[in-house]
Amino acid sequence: MTLIKSISGFRGTIGGSVGDNLTPLDLVKFTSAYAQWLKEQHPGKKLKVVLGRDARLSGAMASSIVEGTLLGCGVDVVHIGLATTPTVEVAVTGYGADGGIILTASHNPKQWNALKLLNSRGEFLNDAEGKKVLSFAAADTYQYASVDELGEVVVRESYDQRHIDSVLALPLVDVSAVRSAHFKVVVDAVNSVGGVVIPALLRQMGVDVVPLNCEPTGRFAHNPEPIPSNLTEISAAVPAEGADLGIVVDPDVDRLALICEDGTMFGEEYTLVAVADYVLSHTPGSTVSNLSSSRALADVTAKHGCSYTASAVGEVNVVAEMKRTGAVIGGEGNGGVIYPALHYGRDALVGVALFLTLLAKKQMSASALRSTYPAYVISKNKIELTPDIDVDSVLQQMKAKYASEKVNDIDGVKIDFPTEWVHLRKSNTEPIIRIYSESKTEAAAEALAQKIISDIKSIISR
């Protein structure tokens, strides 16, 4: 089965059988469930929803179905066409809409697509809201509008420039400094919407852009997840072009990875670290990332005399913790920067603008800037279990075993040692425990992971 239903939306592979894949009938069903939830949230109101999509091959088909279904539910549509996830998010509040739907499977391969659902604040649904939509989808009973109550497409236009304008208007984005630096940047947008909006943003900041995989055809030039093993092409292109930086975004442009001028990885984990360093130097305040993100953010936050807290994994959880603590910057270690001065959502455009401002003001190379931050390495492993094993019990026993250390159990079990940490989380879809460990070196991080795996196996064998 390749159809995943969760509180954050509905994701699956295109084609195949209804209920097992993301088929046209499934698109109708899930859109109808979302519309029903909106009607419950805003009784008696004529609803308006922003709709946008990334450039993947199934996007046009899915967009037509979702648009028609919303109209059939009596919901007006603001259709902004090809758009990044953060662009849809800011468009929801920009148009005063009641919600938004983004058609994107993020970093998943081309055969996948998904409906990501937003509330009236342009933010992902929380746990209770998502579960309500899921309950409507499970009931599979919908009320559609009569002919006189059908929705209409009230706007059909791009929101890209308005999004770019809002980023460039941020007080901490110094366009003059970036322009004066005369940066040359290679952009790899994996042939999705980032190939339109990121070069446009850069050129308006006076940056010389070298486009790489920037045609929004949806035919991904490589595996779209922006991790080092997928970025060999741009790693070679940056030094070959004599560029100052390489910028990589995933298909829906909420994740940002950076390549140094010598072709080395700045590191996805360090995108947020660098941006936070800059933001905190001008606007001191608290920071937030999830439990599986690098300790480097906590270190940089402490350097500025500010406080750091960790949230459960998931953007909606990071946002909730940022609001609770009044954080000035936050995000996730996968290259997701959340800057609430603009909006509460991962936004690669904001990340690019703030990072380039920092680089321009520091007047140093990307690799030199990277060397100023604490050096950590994360190792990602998993241990497969038989279905009959009680994963929750295993995690509780691990928590008890390491009770003398600093332990956080808001999302699995995270054990903080003095110079390293390990985070254990159970999968929601298969009998495995994911094991993320971080230390000063790759060998040390891997050794910690193997020690924890040995502990778990010992518990299981009792």
Contact 195, 226 (CB under 8 A): no
Token pair of 244, please?
């100052």
Pairing label, strands 184-188, 208-212: parallel
Which among 8, 32, 63, 106 is annotated as catalytic? 106
Q: Supply 8's token pair.
A: 């954050």
State yes or no: is 294 an active-site residue: no
Structural tokens at position 402: 């390491």
| Three-class SS state of 37 | helix
HSE toward the beta carbon, residue 193, CA cutoff 13 A: 32
The burial of 335, by beta-carbon neighbours within 10 Å (0-12 exposed, 13-18 middle, 19 or more buried), is given as buried
Length of the chain: 462
Are 187 and 210 a contacting pair, CB within 8 Å? yes
Other beta carbons within 10 Å of 403? 9
| Nearest residue to 243 via CA among 199, 293, 289, 187 | 187
Tokens coding 29 = 């069903």
- Identify the helix (H) or strand (E) that includes residue 202: helix 194-204
| Residue 189 DSSP SS3 | coil
Return the C-alpha torsion angle 359, 361, 365, 371, nearest 10. Answer: -80
Helix (H), strand (E) counts: the chain:
15, 20
Which 8-state DSSP code applies to residue 1?
Answer: -
Which of 444, 263, 343 shows the shortest CA–CA distance to 94?
343
Active centre residues (catalytic): 106
